[in-house]
């Protein structure tokens, strides 16, 4: 463990709450301690209220906040005395407990206190830290977990057998802590859950956490159960093409879920080592490292590609344990969130790229926990009944529901050509804003950094090169799982030449980009679009020149006309596969590279206009921007046009020749 405390850094934080923020962030920086909102911290502070009475408040991490980035506003102030008195009750249901927490806060706009607020309250120390340290859950997820913890810590910690978080855990901890804590007590270990440290200062509580977890890591090292030699993993064998298999698997999982899922394939050395473990079926089918992970990963991963069998097993799991619940439970979707396949890799699934990434982060640490526990004598997760109680716990489900309604394209993937600038870049932005994952292709090197979102994959690709195009599709599908929407935007508009001046090379070059490359892309994309859970959608970016060509643009006009005709035929051929194709015909989109470098000014001067007048020389006297085109392209992929295919829509402000 690294002790990250810095006196210099700490000096920039004011007061007890400021130091509480600082050490919480230190804990949050270390993913071996907490992951994605896990863990919680608190501080007890004496304050005078408006009436002049002194009272002690428990500032505890608010539900939904992440320790790594928490601010002072992320802590909920609750009357300490009331929380301590609650712990003496014989019983308290979850809804009533949350109501008591919220109604005894001193700030109406504070976040809902952590469900472990009562537990923090009954610990008689000013600062309390709680993490789900990998080393601790590794040791406790073994047959001799309690005995090993006793061996490591002796009287330095109070040991709590597993109880689901909430009131029952707080009440049990209150009784055990009062009976077992002594002058040497530094912390508390919750079997199969995590560890607490506490002290009168933020620094000491934090350092005790580091010290306690270090002792667990030292124990694992002494037992030769710490270092994992991943270098023995088999070399990754690149199969020439797996994109259709990946898209098919994603489709099956999405159908089971009832909504589209992002599916990311991982073939790093850790994943390959785990996937090729000789006891994979046994060690992978026991349960997560800590029960709170179950709401992200489900209780078990899927082995292989049989989604139907996995769903049947999940339904049997629900049918077995739901009748034992205190209140009626409605089954969640049965789709896997983690699929283990030696050829496709370790596949993580989620409604968004963020959700998929969270599953990946959790399972990266779970692999280490499982393998270390195996080296210590054998991994033993909690029984399925306990995992079910956590997965269907109302308070845990509420965390997911607070995320709100999903974005319109959540779980879907769009591929956009010519994505580094102009209309293509605007299309990427429009799709990202609507929740889609986006694969952007462009010959410009800047494409890889055009957007910083984890939902964007920018690939340098010459779409006229078949190998480059296939490679891009392979990488895109491995990253996000499939393809739902295709926007064919890439194109070239050469300098004006009359037909008499037009040479064969220029003609072929324009057609190779504007037509041939997109024909190849459509051909390669068809089997992927067939696997789109909500049906495939294609938008072809044509041109006003298709219906109203001008002199000097024969190659451009003819190639865009051919692309339009190709799109019309595809609409006829692909409708039975639930793929719809529509075409946009933009004109005079001046915020693209085509009009840079003085071209706009020169053309405006040629017509005796100012640039502003030239931009609006259409019937509606309005300017058409890349964003305008992108918004229409995105809407063509949405439900508004769900029953439209084969359409051609001008977006030009009104052109008398087109009309």
Kindly state which CATH superfamily the domain 243-399 is placed in: Class II aldolase/adducin N-terminal domain (3.40.225.10)
Q: What CATH architecture does domain 7-222 belong to?
A: 3-Layer(aba) Sandwich (3.40)
Q: What local confidence, expressed as pLDDT, does residue 423 receive?
A: 96
Query: What are the C-alpha distances in Å from 488 to residues 35, 102, 293, 415, 628?
Result: 39, 52, 40, 8, 16
For the full predicted model, state whether its pTM sits above 0.85. yes
CATH number assigned to the domain covering 413-589+624-651: 3.40.50.720
> Residue 353 in contact with residue 338, Cβ under 8 Å?
no
Low-confidence residues of the chain: pLDDT under 70: 236-239, 396-403
Q: Which residues contact 268 (CB under 8 A, 6 or more apart)?
A: none
Scored b (16 or more CB within 10 A) or e, 308-337 reads: eebbebbeebbeebeeeeeeebeeebbbbb
Is 638 in a helix, a strand, or coil?
coil
Q: What is the DSSP string of 119-144?
A: HHHHS-SSEEEEE--HHHHHHHSSTT
| CA-based radius of gyration for the chain | 30
Query: What are the C-alpha distances in Å from 365 to residues 195, 293, 554?
Result: 17, 11, 59
Q: Which of 369, 357, 256 is nearest to 302 (CA)?
A: 256
Residue 568 to residue 571: CA distance in whole angstroms = 5
Query: What are the C-alpha distances in Å from 202 to residues 21, 23, 132?
Result: 9, 7, 19
Q: What local confidence, expressed as pLDDT, does residue 408 receive?
A: 97
Q: What is the DSSP string of 70-123?
A: --GGGEEEEEHHHHHHHTTSS---HHHHHHHHHHTBS-TTSPPBPTTHHHHHHS
Residue 566 to residue 507: CA distance in whole angstroms = 18
Query: How much of the chain, in percent, has pLDDT values that exceed 70?
Result: 98
What are the backbone dihedrals phi and psi of residue 614, each rounded to the nearest 5 degrees, phi first? -65, -35
Q: Which of 46, 40, 44 is nearest to 62 (CA)?
A: 40
Q: What local confidence, expressed as pLDDT, does residue 635 receive?
A: 97
Q: Which of 106, 31, 36, 93 is nearest to 66 (CA)?
A: 36
Q: Could you report the per-residue pLDDT of 397-429, keeping only the tens digit for each?
A: 666 666 678 999 999 999 999 999 999 999 999
Q: Which of 639, 637, 635, 628 is nearest to 485 (CA)?
A: 637
Q: Could you report the per-residue pLDDT of 319-351, keeping only the tens digit for each?
A: 999 999 888 888 999 999 999 999 999 999 999
Q: What local confidence, expressed as pLDDT, does residue 400 receive?
A: 60
Domain layout of the chain by residue ranges: 7-222, 243-399, 413-589+624-651
Q: Which of 465, 469, 462, 467 is nearest to 483 (CA)?
A: 469
Structure tokens at 8: 């210099």
Scored b (16 or more CB within 10 A) or e, 144-161 reads: ebeebbeebbeebbbbbe
Q: Which of 26, 21, 22 is nearest to 1 (CA)?
A: 26
Q: What is the DSSP string of 289-304?
A: SSGGGHHHH-SSPEES
Q: Could you report the per-residue pLDDT of 576-633, keeping only the tens digit for each?
A: 999 999 999 999 898 887 777 777 787 788 778 898 888 899 999 999 999 999 999 9
* Residue 433 parent element (H or E): helix 422-433
Q: What local confidence, expressed as pLDDT, does residue 606 receive?
A: 74
Q: What is the DSSP string of 302-366?
A: EESS-HHHHHHHHHHHHHHHGGGSSS--PPPP---SEEEETTTEEEEEESSHHHHHHHHHHHHHH
Residue 120 to residue 118: CA distance in whole angstroms = 5
* Paired residues of 553 in beta bridges: 497
Query: DSSP secondary-structure letter at 273?
Result: H
Q: Could you report the per-residue pLDDT of 172-221, keeping only the tens digit for each?
A: 999 999 999 998 899 999 999 999 999 999 999 999 999 999 999 999 99
Residue 521 to residue 524: CA distance in whole angstroms = 5
Structure tokens at 27: 């804990």
Return the sign of the alpha-carbon dihedral for residues 129, 130, 131, 136. Answer: positive
Give me the chain's average pLDDT, please: 94
Residue 408 to residue 645: CA distance in whole angstroms = 20
Structure tokens at 560: 């865009």
Question: Can 7-222 and 243-399 be said to share one CATH topology?
Answer: yes
Alpha carbon of residue 345 to chain centroid: 18
> Residue 169 in contact with residue 121, Cβ under 8 Å?
no
> Residue 65 in contact with residue 76, Cβ under 8 Å?
no
* Paired residues of 649 in beta bridges: 584
Query: What are the C-alpha distances in Å from 450 to residues 317, 626, 638?
Result: 45, 16, 24
Residue 298 — left, alpha, or beta (φ > 0 → left; ψ -120 to 50 → alpha)?
Answer: left
Return the sign of the alpha-carbon dihedral for residues 412, 418, 423, 428. Answer: positive
Q: What local confidence, expressed as pLDDT, does residue 283 receive?
A: 96
Alpha carbon of residue 337 to chain centroid: 12
Q: How many CB atoms lie within 10 A of CB 566?
A: 18
Q: What local confidence, expressed as pLDDT, does residue 553 receive?
A: 85
Query: What are the C-alpha distances in Å from 113 to residues 219, 372, 402, 444?
Result: 35, 34, 14, 49
Helix-, strand-, coil-residue percentages of the chain, each rounded to 5 = 45, 15, 35
Residue 603 to residue 495: CA distance in whole angstroms = 13
């Amino acid at each position: 463990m690294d002790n990250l405390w810095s006196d210099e850094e700490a000096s920039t934080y004011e007061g007890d709450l400021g130091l509480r923020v600082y050490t919480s962030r230190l804990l949050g920086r270390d993913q071996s301690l907490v992951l994605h909102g896990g863990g919680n911290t608190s501080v007890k502070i004496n304050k005078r209220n408006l009436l002049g009475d002194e009272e002690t408040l428990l500032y505890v991490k608010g539900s939904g906040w992440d320790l790594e980035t928490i601010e002072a506003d992320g802590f909920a102030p609750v009357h300490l005395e009331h929380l301590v008195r609650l712990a003496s009750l014989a019983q308290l249901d979850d809804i009533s407990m949350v109501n008591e927490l919220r109604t005894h806060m001193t700030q109406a706009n504070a976040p809902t206190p952590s469900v472990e607020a009562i537990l923090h309250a009954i610990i008689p120390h000013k600062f309390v830290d709680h993490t789900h340290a990998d080393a601790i859950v590794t040791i406790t997820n073994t047959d001799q977990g309690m005995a090993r913890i006793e061996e490591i810590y002796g009287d330095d910690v109070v040991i709590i057998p597993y109880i689901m978080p909430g009131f029952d855990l707080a009440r049990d901890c209150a009784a055990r802590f009062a009976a077992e804590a002594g002058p040497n007590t530094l912390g508390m270990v919750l079997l199969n859950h995590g560890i607490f440290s506490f002290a009168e200062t933020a620094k000491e509580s934090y350092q005790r956490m580091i010290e306690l977890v270090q002792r667990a890591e030292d124990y694992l090292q002494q037992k030769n159960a710490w270092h994992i030699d991943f270098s023995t993993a088999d070399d990754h064998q690149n199969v020439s093409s797996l994109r259709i298999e990946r898209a098919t698997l994603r489709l099956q999982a999405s159908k089971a879920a009832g909504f589209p899922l992002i599916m990311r394939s991982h073939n790093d050395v850790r994943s390959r080592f785990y996937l090729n473990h000789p006891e994979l079926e046994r060690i992978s089918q026991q349960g997560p490292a800590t029960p709170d992970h179950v709401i992200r990963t489900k209780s078990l991963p899927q082995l292989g590609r049989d989604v139907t069998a996995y769903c049947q097993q999940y339904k049997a799991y629900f049918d077995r344990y739901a009748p034992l619940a205190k209140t009626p439970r409605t089954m969640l979707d049965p789709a896997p969130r983690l699929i283990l396949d030696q050829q496709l890799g370790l596949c993580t699934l989620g409604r968004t790229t963020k959700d998929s990434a969270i599953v990946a982060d959790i399972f990266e640490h779970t692999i280490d926990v499982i393998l270390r526990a195996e080296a210590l004598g054998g991994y033993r997760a909690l029984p399925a009944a306990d995992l079910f109680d956590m997965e269907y716990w109302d308070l845990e489900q509420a965390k997911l529901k607070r995320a709100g309604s999903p974005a319109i394209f959540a779980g879907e993937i769009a591929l956009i050509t010519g994505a580094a600038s102009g209309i293509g870049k605007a299309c990427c932005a429009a799709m990202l804003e609507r929740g889609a994952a986006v694969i952007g292709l462009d010959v410009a090197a800047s494409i890889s950094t055009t957007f910083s979102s984890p939902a964007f994959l920018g690939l340098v690709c010459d779409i006229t090169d078949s190998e480059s195009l296939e490679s891009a599709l392979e990488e895109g599908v491995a990253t996000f799982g499939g393809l739902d929407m295709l926007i064919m935007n890439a194109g070239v508009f050469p300098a004006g030449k009359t037909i008499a001046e037009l040479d064969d090379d220029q003609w072929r070059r324009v057609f190779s980009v504007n037509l041939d490359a997109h024909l190849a892309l459509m051909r390669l994309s068809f089997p992927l679009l067939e696997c789109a859970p909500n049906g495939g959608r294609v938008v072809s970016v044509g041109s006003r020149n298709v219906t109203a060509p001008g002199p000097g643009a024969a190659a451009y006009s003819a190639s865009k006309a051919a692309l339009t005709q190709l799109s019309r035929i595809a609409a006829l051929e692909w409708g039975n596969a639930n793929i719809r194709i529509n075409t946009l015909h933009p004109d005079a989109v001046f915020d693209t590279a085509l009009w840079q470098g003085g071209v706009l000014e020169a053309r405006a001067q040629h017509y005796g206009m100012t640039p502003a007048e030239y931009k609006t020389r259409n019937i509606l006297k309005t300017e058409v921007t890349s964003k305008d085109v992108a918004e229409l392209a995105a809407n063509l992929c949405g439900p508004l046009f769900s029953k439209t295919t084969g359409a051609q829509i001008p977006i030009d402000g009104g052109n008398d020749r087109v009309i």
